[in-house]
Amino acid sequence: MLKKEMPLVSIIIPVYNGSNYLAEAIESALNQTYEHCEIIVINDGSEDDGATEGIAKSYGNKIRYYEKENGGVASALNLGIREMKGEYFSWLSHDDIYYPDKVKKEVEAILASGDVTTLVQAEYEFYHMGSKTYTPTDFHKYYDVKEITNSIFSVMQLQFHACSALIHKSHFERVGIFDESLRTLQDIDMWFRIFRGQKSLFLPEILHIVREHEEAGSNTISCYEEEQGKTYLKMVKALDYHEMEEVFGNAPAFLCRIAGYLKSYKRTLEYEEMKKYLQDVPKDRIEEEENSIAQFREYLKKISDGKEKEIAIFGAGHYGIRIKYELESRGIKPKYFIDNNPMKWGTTIDGILCVSMEEARKEKENLLIVLAQRNFTLGLKQVEEAGFSHYITKQSLDAKILHTLPAMSRIKEWIG
């Protein structure tokens, strides 16, 4: 690619009290193999005795550095958008890392498409700092590329990561900038607006690393769960039944997923509204529904060497509760939760008993394990060491569930 053909890409790094990770993020931006990048670091009012400021300023004119009063990630990103000189926007969280070819491969894909405004997204991987394990997303193994790139599919399937994308600046002119009233869901809100009604490109390559650690905003910002409930319900309300079918192919399954998600976060008010949506879905697909559920049961039997086994969900957190809800909506009631937290053993969680891995091991020949964990690498090792031969990750199961109609004709049995 000739230099004159290389559009400028602005890598925006918003940061608040990020001295422990910021240098690695900046280095990963500087090490991009794409040569036409500018790096903009926005210090969102860090209160760490100048530690974040010192790291950013140590890079001198290799980056552009701005300071502002604390206003949240959205306000920092909006300042970056106003100051960027590039044709493309690439967000890099201060605690994440780009692989060297991230920008290059995405720019090449966009230019090859023939439309400079084409949206692009890619695979990524989670790095769990506690266990030092990596888990790839591998969306292309579970979903057809036509699904992933269809409008808001990846955003609403709870799989999109804002830093995996490359966005042409014209999209901000089309839909506006980040909502500064949101402290934690500004990315989902923005990407919903940008990707809705658009076709995008998807690169089935891991192009960046997402750190999982206790200091993440989802763990430390108190309004996180409230924003989850309000934002996802707002997005669902923006969609009519026809658009749901167009994007997800299966509106009841989509609504069921969001309902289970809200329930798992104990967002009672929003969940009650989602129940109304589900109850209003036309009940005219009974034969198709029963065939779909029968095929899903056969799939589970196939995983278990042709035997029908009871299900134990490994992980009694948000993912586990959502998976339980979605299984029950297909007429399958799990037998146990399994969890590594001793405080949960012997307790009833969302109506089923939670046990230790050692206790579940006593029934290993009769159980199919669902690993309901985002970073499942360590959990998979634990399941195998415990001697379980039949298991499936929630990532793989999610795709099968999405393509299985819920038992809408028997909704009163599972809606709660």
pLDDT tens-digit profile of 380-389?
999 999 999 9
Reference 315, options 206, 397, 233, 231; nearest CA is 397
pLDDT for the residue numbered 159: 75
- Could you report the per-residue pLDDT of 36-48, keeping only the tens digit for each? 999 999 999 999 9
- Could you report the per-residue pLDDT of 306-347, keeping only the tens digit for each? 999 999 999 999 999 999 999 999 999 999 999 999 999 999
- Could you report the per-residue pLDDT of 181-232, keeping only the tens digit for each? 999 999 999 999 999 999 999 999 999 999 986 765 555 677 889 999 999 9
pLDDT for the residue numbered 220: 61
Q: Does residue 341 sit in the same domain as residue 303?
A: yes
Average pLDDT of the residues of the chain: 94
* Domain end position, chosen among 195, 216, 237: 216
pLDDT for the residue numbered 158: 66
> Which alpha helices (H) appear in 126-169, and where do they start and end?
139-142, 145-148, 153-156
In a 3-state reduction of DSSP, which class is residue 367?
A: strand
What residues make up the domain containing 45? Answer: 3-216
Instruction: Quote the number of domains for the chain.
Output: 2
Gap between the Cα atoms of 137 and 42, Å rounded: 28
CATH value at residue 359: 3.40.50.20
Gap between the Cα atoms of 89 and 82, Å rounded: 11
Specify whether the CB–CB gap between 218 and 224 falls below 8 A: yes
The pLDDT of residue 1 is above 70? no
Handedness of CA 68, 72, 78, 83 (dihedral sign): positive
Q: Does residue 190 sit in the same domain as residue 135?
A: yes
Q: Does residue 68 sit in the same domain as residue 203?
A: yes
Gap between the Cα atoms of 206 and 102, Å rounded: 8
| pLDDT classification of 74: cutoffs 50, 70, 90 | very high
Gap between the Cα atoms of 141 and 151, Å rounded: 19
pLDDT for the residue numbered 5: 75
* Domain end position, chosen among 216, 231, 246: 216
pLDDT for the residue numbered 105: 98
Structure tokens at 33: 């193999």
What share of the chain in percent tops pLDDT 90? 91
The pLDDT of residue 370 is above 90? yes
* Domain end position, chosen among 201, 216, 231: 216
Kindly state the DSSP code that residue 407 receives in the 8-state scheme: -
Entry pTM: 0.94
- Could you report the per-residue pLDDT of 111-162, keeping only the tens digit for each? 999 999 999 999 999 999 888 999 999 999 999 999 999 999 999 986 789 9
Q: Does residue 179 sit in the same domain as residue 55?
A: yes
Specify whether the CB–CB gap between 362 and 379 falls below 8 A: no
What share of the chain in percent tops pLDDT 70? 97
